[in-house]
Amino acid sequence: MKSLKSSLILLGSVGLLFLGACSKNNQAANTGNSPVVSTSTNQTPVSASPTTKADSGHGASKGGQVVETGSYHLEFVPEKEANGTHMDLYLFTGDNHEAVANAKVTAHVQLPDGKQTTIPFTYAAKDKHYTALLNEKVSGQYQVKVTANIKGEQATGRFNFNR
């Protein structure tokens, strides 16, 4: 009877250790989805991970992936086209989400096969957003890091899409 009790206690202890280990792994995996914001004195880099929202609550949403970082609102909208993927970036600032027209915007894209390419965006004044065309047509997940340089500040957002 005593060895049965010892075996049950040992089995219960191992089970608790296993559950604790599983719980810690889930917490570590979930922390990667949290926004990351960093600043420096010379050039202020700010970055965050996206959330996909139909309405950001600020009236500026275009239905894409949204990153609110520092005083900037970045919204990435990829659209599949016959000749590649059309990419729109809406860049706003302030509480009223005023369009930022004077930024230098580039996308660093990792293709599904692991290759990387850099795509410059141009500002479409009529539509008040930045636009670019990614000529790749490979099926799979694309990882996109968009960097906007605005008067010495840098706002960065990480996005992804499937083609």
pLDDT in tens, 44-75: 344 444 443 333 344 456 689 999 989 999 99
**Residue 39 falls inside a structural domain:** no
Residue 12 has what pLDDT?
56
**Residue 38 falls inside a structural domain:** no
pTM assigned to the model = 0.65
Are 143 and 106 spatial neighbours (Cβ–Cβ below 8 Å)? no
Residue 10 has what pLDDT?
52
Residue 11 pLDDT exceeds 80: no
Residue 95 has what pLDDT?
85
Which residue range forms the structural domain that includes residue 22? 1-31
Residue 111 has what pLDDT?
97
Residue 93 pLDDT exceeds 90: yes
Tokens for 15? Answer: 């089970």
Q: Note whether 11 and 83 are same-domain residues.
A: no
Residue 54 has what pLDDT?
36
**Residue 37 falls inside a structural domain:** no
**Residue 36 falls inside a structural domain:** no
Average pLDDT over residues 16-29: 44
Q: Note whether 59 and 137 are same-domain residues.
A: yes
Q: Sheet holding 104-110: strands in order across?
A: 44-48, 153-162, 141-150, 104-110, 116-120
Q: Note whether 113 and 63 are same-domain residues.
A: yes
Tokens for 82? Answer: 């016959």
Count of structural domains within the chain: 2
